Structure 1
């Protein structure tokens, strides 16, 4: 496993050097992850405009971006005095470990996800108008419509996104968060219901690009191992000096993480999936938190961005990630059962059958922590502000106290594709 990771890293280093040399000799005429410049000539070709049409392009950093591993830019295009808004997203392949991560974890998934969602008319994402992505080079650059500012507000505005500080006021942010949370549940239900327990998700070649599909049939061990080992190594480093980690750890949560790490192996995950029986599965967003969601005030609907983790897995991991990431403990305790009930009702309205409310609530309690235990370890091991690390810890600890007080360990599945810890460790 370690050899495979370093072979990928070596290939990424070679590609990075060759790309820099090639671009100096032949500057690209269209945006790439390495050279993200958007020219008026390129936009004319992309939008199929008259070459003589008056057009200006202004490109800059996207001020509302709070992502950890991607470059986000705004693109404002003036055509005959009318402004058109777009945003460019690229992975930061100038960092070779990011390029290696893109190769190892299939960086093309996000551009394929936008095409997939548009073909299905799911109305869950902005429209993508350009993609330049390659699994061979680990690079991705996409351009999509930029929604707002009129009538659009980031969902994180409603919940405060407390770990980064309360965002500036935005139009519509005074709306009740209960209304917005229900819209989040409705969007998730539409996504999850679209292929609810569809056997083709596990075996169909048309879904082979989805993260974790192969795990259900015993394939993709190297990708799973890389993600899990990155997390396990990070936890070992944190665990050695827990008192000086900068985070005040809850002893019960530490014990739960210890036991979960020890209980999780490729073989135990395989045994769990093969003995799934009545377990449900669906397409899941995979990184379902409020900063990846936008609320349309006029239509009272939520659209989502950052589809790079689109996967086949248990749908409740999406719901749990949203609840733990963004909803303060008092608000969650007051509303979570009503919100999860609304999600279940929307599943039923979208055609899901043979899934009772009792099973839905039990799944929420049992599966919500799975993704966040892995994410907590990765985030605490990253150079984030101490207040952010403590916030995430406290959110996870409170959920575990409320719903997993008697649980000895949790079998851990997919983690967000952060390979930097494995490559630096």
Structure 2
């Protein structure tokens, strides 16, 4: 942490502030930022954050000084901001970039500076500009080749942390069923009514009932994918968070946006990606092959004692759980954000298709209703 003020808006990311921030981390030594024009990017991509590409103009040349960077701050949308703060997303991502990025096990964006204040909900990350790389497009969806490349790289990440003693030291990255993550059931319940109002006409009667049936079984389901073996999961493994390649050519892809990182069973990431970022026709044709490729990559990386049958069932369970994300996104999305609406709708219909194709809803038959205590309190107050 530094003594610098944390910008509340992008307007406060001034040349003077950038100079102080970059000098505090040794990115700059002598040069001073004199101009910092910026362009907003990622509209409809970063649901919980605001992103800008900043061009840095200096008073002198300095080897290694970045010509551009990406600034990331919390979203100005009160609904999304409140959910992210309640679930600890901003603080977690700050610490990952600040403390873990260089040893996480997969290529991620270099962070030049990261700081935050949980009380004021002010956070900022200055990271390398990956604009020269091809960015994934979640609305368009992933190809089979992209799915295979991704799951093999993610298997390397998972194997790095698979039941490792070092993982237990990351207490600030919660398990899937830690109290902060159990609050996802509260966020879901709060989103259901606006979700039905905005998108209910696009659902079948079965799908509407599935949403309601799932709601009070979310916390028991989180217990399922929080059992050992556990690993470090990206948690928001969707195509918009993938850049193909790396600036130095050392890696096949670069992952960004670690706000929802979680300790859980590895297929949590794979089920999320396949149910949110892959069109149903591609997923149905190649689903088992992709998940099998992930499992085989785990074994090649040294993971033992985890069977194919376990992997497949963990995958199915995650697909059911991942109904959470499109419902919350659709319930809080600004309908004026055309790309955001298209993304939320794609996530929704892909998730529902995957759940029904896999009959993942049968997982709910094995779980008792267990509403979150905050929901019970709210119902009792009515």
TM-score tier (shorter): 0.7 to 0.9
1:403 aligns with 2:358: yes
Are the counterparts in 2 of residues 99 and 137 from structure 1 also a CA contact under 8 Å? no
Cα distance in 1 for partners of 2:96, 2:251 equals: 23
Superposed counterparts of 1:382-397, under 5 Å: 382=332, 383-384=334-335, 388-397=343-352
Q: Which residue of 1 aligns with 2:29?
A: 49
Partners of 1:322 and 1:309 in 2: how far apart?
13
* Conservation of the 8 A alpha-carbon contact between 2:330 and 2:344: yes
Partner Cα separation in structure 1 for residue 351 and residue 343 of structure 2 = 13
Q: Secondary structure of the equivalent of 2:263?
A: strand
Equivalent position of 1:115 in the other structure: 98
1:332 aligned onto 2:283: yes
Q: Does 1:90 align with 2:68?
A: no
Pairing partner for 1:373 from 307, 319, 323: 323
Q: Does 1:58 align with 2:32?
A: no
TM-score for the superposition, normalised by structure 2: 0.78
Q: Match for 2:8 among 11, 33, 38?
A: 33
Question: Over aligned residues, Cα RMSD in angstroms?
Answer: 3.5
Q: Match of 2:208?
A: 254
For these two proteins, the number of residue pairs brought into alignment is 351
SS in 1 for 2:150: helix
Deviation at 1:129, TM superposition (A): 0.9
1:167-192: per-residue Cα shift (whole Å, max 9, x none)? xxxxxxxxx93332222112211221
Deviations 1:228-286 (A, max 9, x none): 122123325656x6xx8454213333333332223345xx4687579x5xx53211111
Q: 1-side partners of 2:129 and 2:256: how far apart?
A: 10
Question: Aligned residue for 1:16?
Answer: none
CA distance in 2, matches of 1:377, 1:324: 13
Conservation of the 8 A alpha-carbon contact between 2:319 and 2:351: no
- Equivalent residue, structure 1, for 2:170: 207
What is residue 372 of structure 2 aligned with on the other side? none
> Which stretch of the first structure deviates more once superposed, 140-149 or 64-73?
64-73
Greater shift in the superposed pair: 374-383 or 245-254 = 245-254
> Quick one: distance in 2 between partners of 1:331 and 1:409?
26
Q: Which runs of 5+ in 1 are unaligned?
A: 1-27, 167-175, 413-421
- Do the aligned residues in 2 keep the contact of 1:106 with 1:138 (CA within 8 Å)? no
Instruction: Report the CA distance shift for 1:272/1:284 in structure 2 as closer, same or farther (over 3 A).
Output: closer
Secondary structure of the 1:107 match is: helix
| 2:261 paired with 1:281 | no
| Separation (CA, whole Å) in 2 of partners of 1:285 and 1:271 | 18
Distance 1:280 1:54, change over 3 A: closer
Specify the alignment match of 1:305 in structure 2: 256
Unaligned runs of 5+ in 2: 369-377
1:360 aligns with 2:311: yes
| 1:72–1:88 contact (8 Å) kept in structure 2 | yes
Q: Does 1:350 align with 2:301?
A: yes
